[in-house]
Structure 1
Amino acid sequence: MAEQQRYIAHFDLDSFFVSVELLQQPALKGKAVIVGGTPERGVVTSCSYEARKFGVRSAMPMSRAMKLCPHAVVLRGTHTEYRRYSQWVTDIIAAKAPLFEKASIDEFYIDLTGMDRFFDPYQWTIDLRQEIIDKTQLPISFGLAANKMVAKIATDEAKPNGYLFVQPGKEKDFLAPLPVNKFPGVGEQTFLLLKAMGIHTIRDLSETPVAILEKKLGKTGADLWKKSQGIHNGQVHAYHEAKSVSSENTFHENTADTDFLLSELVRLTERVAFELRRDEKLAGCIAVKIRYPDFETTSKQTTISRTLRDDELIPQAIELFHQLYRKGQSVRLLGVRLSELTNHAVQGSLFDDAERKNKLYKAIDEVKNKFGKTALKKARTLKKGKE
């Protein structure tokens, strides 16, 4: 049987920190802007393309950056805003992507392998990029290819604020004219050594006998030769949100049975609420996700008063479901996610029965811990359905 064609998308938010700052201070657009330490010390964290024209680069000492671009506007950075925007983009991707990896605060890989049976991976990726831009106003580039390495290099070539698809089988042709230091891990010393060998482009590297590369560079030489052929086997590792708890179920049979879907929603909400209490956290946001048989995925979230109680979370989940669900359409997957978690103690209103509820949930959780998560269920979840 033929090996399944891989499709890997790499997304990178362009000059992310600077882009966020420009949203806060539009008057800085078109100017050379550097986010980093003071001019006397520290390094460049991010810089605008106007600053890059003068040779400024990320990780460069601030003292050197200021010599290259003395008129630059220097900002210390607002890291709470960077985290907020990063989470916003993460949530958009998480709601749509079948499998994704968050490589850094501004960089993502998405594995679309096998999804070409349901949609065009290239158009899907274009649409996702546009959704991110429309919602956040942040510039973002992507590369789409058969592996992570080529996708990342394609993103670099697509910048600023563009995209590029390297067709399957064209990886070697795409890489050939690029300089050898396009490969991650080719530092200045290795770059100089390769140039001394007469190897300037990736084509030169691909045409050099692997034995010669191994003799000069050891295992690194063999690895670089393999990369020059467009070969890379790195996997996309599923991202797990550290500050959220979620549960979802892909049904064995697609279903449009609303009663079943609602009972499943209650079961999933019970499950994440139990996880929440076990971690001794409160949630300030709840989201519901629905995936249809054609893999179109939609999600909706709402901010809530911080809680860990089923009876407060379930009505919110049901309301989101009714806002989101296209009546009569079959559903492939249903999910619930709680986020904006805190460790704060429960503070009940003077007018509710908080203490009694807390004792009740403690008793329920003790049963579940002893006999398993499914030991106690709400009556609604016991209705017959397809799972």
Structure 2
Amino acid sequence: MQPQQRYIAHFDLDSFFVSVEVLNNPALKGLPVLVGGSRERGVVAACSYEARKFGVHSAMPMKKALQLCPQAVLVRGTRGEYSRYSRMVTEIIAAKAPLFEKASIDEFYLDLTGMDKFFNPYQWTIELRQSIIERTKLPISFALASNKMIAKIATDEAKPNGYIFVQPGMEKDFLGPLKVGKIPGVGKHTEETLKNAGIFYIRDIAQRTVEQMEAVLGNYGAELWHKAHGKHEGIVQPYHEAKSISTENTFHENTDDEAFLLSELVRMTEKVAYELRQDEKLAGCITVKLRYPNFETTSRQVSIDYTFRDDELIPVAKDLYHKLYRKGNKIRLMGVRLSDLTNHAMQGSLFDDAEKKNNLYKAIDAVKNKYGNYALNKARTIRGSDKEDKEEKEP
């Protein structure tokens, strides 16, 4: 019995941050637009295709980008809008796709395997793309292929605002004329090593033996050889797998000491944010829960810009607490939950002082990993607290 033919679609919102800014300000259309931080210390979060013609690309220091393209329009970024549009696209896909993975704020994989028994997967995917464009007005590209790797590479070839179907059995032919840097995971250093070995195109890898590739790159050479032949076994990870990360604290004694309660709130928010970073996720929603001595439980949540940072989550948690708490009443239990999780945490960090702040969090997390979660805490949380934490990761 032959294995079932796989159909994997990859959707990618084109220059997502810029596209949202243009929707909100049509005067930007057709201009070289840079979205990101300050001129001196910021990083390019996204750039329009007009700016790319000057050699500008995302993650480039803003200062360098403006040197390459002095006439560029710099937009600081309305990050809440990006979260809103991302959720809008997610809801459209979730309503139609049997199985999908939200790989990042603007990128999705859909597993359509088995759908060909009922209708044409390619036509279905074209219609889904059209639904997304009609409802959001955002440009989006997609590719349909037999595996995730081919679909992702092909989407890049379909941009801007296009689509492509790599027919089963045509994977090697499609990959052959593309440069080796098109393979996901092949960075500048690896690409340079391959060029020094006379390997410039993916077909150059496919034409060599596994042993020859291992001589150039060791075990990774064998992996690239398989990829050059269009082979990839990665599966689409269901989006609902990681819904939330939460922690709760039932106090030994009911308390109305607000200084203590706020201290606990900060500590708990730091804790779930740390777990979020360990899972390499971003959160798009935060919830604070309070329980009174009579077991009356109240909670409040709010959608937020996708983030993994304590300093962005804590102020929101405090605001929710102040809206929830009835002054003078004792509290029995407090909880903090992060939900609407998505991958690719670094996408939420391309604004001012991003590199410095991310390095700070990496250093803090490294200490916590080595010495325990309470090794470093904000000053407000140092005050003694009775802890009976119950940490949860909802399936």
TM-score (normalised: structure 2): 0.62
Q: Which residue of 2 aligns with 1:71?
A: 71
Q: Which residue of 2 aligns with 1:144?
A: 144
Secondary structure of residue in 2 paired with 1:38: coil
> Are the counterparts in 1 of residues 143 and 165 from structure 2 also a CA contact under 8 Å?
yes
How many angstroms does 1:97 deviate by?
0.3
Q: Which residue of 2 aligns with 1:135?
A: 135
Q: Which amino acid aligns with 2:169?
A: G
How many angstroms does 1:345 deviate by?
5.1
Gaps of 5+ in 1: 244-276, 286-341, 348-387
Gaps of 5+ in 2: 245-294, 304-319, 327-395
1:214 corresponds to 2:214: yes
Instruction: Report the CA distance shift for 1:95/1:204 in structure 2 as closer, same or farther (over 3 A).
Output: same
The structure whose Rg is larger is 1
Whole-angstrom distance in 2 between the partners of 1:278 and 1:32: 55
Whole-angstrom distance in 1 between the partners of 2:25 and 2:76: 14
Whole-angstrom distance in 1 between the partners of 2:142 and 2:17: 18
Q: Which residue of 2 aligns with 1:32?
A: 32
Q: Which residue of 1 aligns with 2:179?
A: 179
How many angstroms does 1:42 deviate by?
2.1
> Are the counterparts in 1 of residues 197 and 216 from structure 2 also a CA contact under 8 Å?
no
How many angstroms does 1:88 deviate by?
0.2
Aligned length: 259
1:151-187, CA deviations, whole angstroms, 9 ceiling, x for partnerless residues? 0011000000000000000000000000000011111
How many angstroms does 1:62 deviate by?
1.0
Instruction: Report the CA distance shift for 1:279/1:215 in structure 2 as closer, same or farther (over 3 A).
Output: farther
TM-score (normalised: structure 1): 0.64
Q: Which residue of 2 aligns with 1:253?
A: none
Task: Quote the sequence identity (%).
Answer: 65
How many angstroms does 1:284 deviate by?
9.7
Q: Which residue of 2 aligns with 1:98?
A: 98
How many angstroms does 1:242 deviate by?
3.5
How many angstroms does 1:215 deviate by?
1.9
How many angstroms does 1:96 deviate by?
0.2
1:242 corresponds to 2:271: no
Q: Which residue of 2 aligns with 1:61?
A: 61
- Select the structure with the greater relative contact order (CA < 8 A; seq sep ≥ 6): 2
How many angstroms does 1:220 deviate by?
1.0
How many angstroms does 1:208 deviate by?
1.2
Q: Which residue of 2 aligns with 1:200?
A: 200
Secondary structure of residue in 1 paired with 2:156: helix
> Are the counterparts in 1 of residues 206 and 229 from structure 2 also a CA contact under 8 Å?
yes
Q: Which amino acid aligns with 1:49?
A: Y
Whole-angstrom distance in 1 between the partners of 2:199 and 2:216: 12
Q: How does 1:282-293 map to 2 (within 5 A)?
A: none
Whole-angstrom distance in 1 between the partners of 2:117 and 2:302: 37
Q: Which amino acid aligns with 2:130?
A: Q
1:254-289, CA deviations, whole angstroms, 9 ceiling, x for partnerless residues? xxxxxxxxxxxxxxxxxxxxxxx999656899xxxx
How many angstroms does 1:34 deviate by?
0.3
Whole-angstrom distance in 2 between the partners of 1:279 and 1:146: 49
> Are the counterparts in 1 of residues 175 and 230 from structure 2 also a CA contact under 8 Å?
yes
1:286-317, CA deviations, whole angstroms, 9 ceiling, x for partnerless residues? xxxxxxxxxxxxxxxxxxxxxxxxxxxxxxxx
4+ residue segments displaced more than 2 Å: 277-285, 342-347
